[in-house]
Every structure is written in structure tokens, then in C-alpha cells.
């Protein structure tokens, strides 16, 4: 069981940047926080859905920049879901079968806390 309260720092902040790093994605939020996802990431917005590796994914995730986070829910062994005020979502898989290394994600908050899942 992981402590999901650390992700509460994202609520009320906005997504300021998206970086594609080889096989994973980094999401930058304001106030200062970075979420690096090493397992499949899916974006759902305005009736569309795309997962990292699909042709629609880059444009769909970049369109989330500037949106404010309404909530973050972590379901152990399933997913971490970031929901924005317009109900669009970014979902990071936490399913063991999706791991390609020792962790699914890292989250670094502005107060120098580091969460590794």
C-alpha cells in the first residue's frame, strides 16, 4: 500500500509541461512537481482516448497543458488517475504486468519529497 496523500499536492495546480523521454513521459505541474510515468499512460478527453505509442497520444496529452487538476486517485495495483476540472484524465497504469522496470512512476514534489511506485 502506498501513501497517496502526496499526490494531493497536484490538486489545484495546472499541468505546465509534457516531456517525451524515449519510452516514458514526464508531466510537469505548477506548483513545482514532476510525475515520471514508466508504464502505459492513457489520456481521455472530450470523447477521445489514446495511450502512449498511439498516433493520437502526443496531441491529446499536449492539449491537457494549462488545465487545472481537480483530483488524484490511486488504486493500488491498478492505476493513478489525474482528473482535470474539465473531466479529462491522465491515467498511469500500476498493473504489475505493465512494469518494464522496478517502478511504474516517480513523483517529485516541490518540497523535495519523492514517491516511487
> What confidence tier does 82 reach under pLDDT thresholds 50, 70, 90?
very high
Q: Where are the beta strands (DSSP E) in 1-117?
A: 14-21, 24-30, 33-37, 41-45, 48-51, 69-75, 79-84, 89-93, 105-109, 114-116
pLDDT value of position 93: 98
CB 40 within 8 A of CB 93: yes
pLDDT value of position 9: 86
**CATH number, domain with residue 29:** 3.20.190
Q: What is the DSSP string of 90-117?
A: EEEE--GGG-SSS-SEEEEETTS-EEE-
For the chain, give the percent of residues with pLDDT over 70: 97
Domain containing 41 equals 4-116
pLDDT value of position 37: 98
Query: Total domain count for the chain?
Result: 1
Residue 29 has pLDDT above 70, yes or no: yes
Amino acid at each position: 500500500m502506498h501513501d497517496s496523500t502526496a499526490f494531493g499536492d497536484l490538486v489545484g495546480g495546472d499541468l505546465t509541461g509534457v516531456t517525451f523521454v524515449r519510452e516514458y513521459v514526464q508531466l510537469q505541474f505548477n506548483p513545482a512537481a514532476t510525475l515520471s510515468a514508466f508504464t502505459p499512460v492513457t489520456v481521455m478527453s472530450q470523447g477521445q482516448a489514446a495511450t502512449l505509442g498511439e498516433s493520437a497520444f502526443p496531441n491529446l496529452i499536449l492539449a491537457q497543458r494549462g488545465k487545472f487538476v481537480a483530483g488524484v486517485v490511486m488504486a493500488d495495483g491498478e492505476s493513478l488517475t489525474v482528473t482535470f476540472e474539465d473531466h479529462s484524465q491522465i491515467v498511469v497504469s500500476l498493473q504489475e504486468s505493465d512494469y518494464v522496470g522496478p517502478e511504474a512512476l516517480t513523483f517529485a514534489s516541490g518540497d523535495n519529497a519523492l514517491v516511487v511506485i
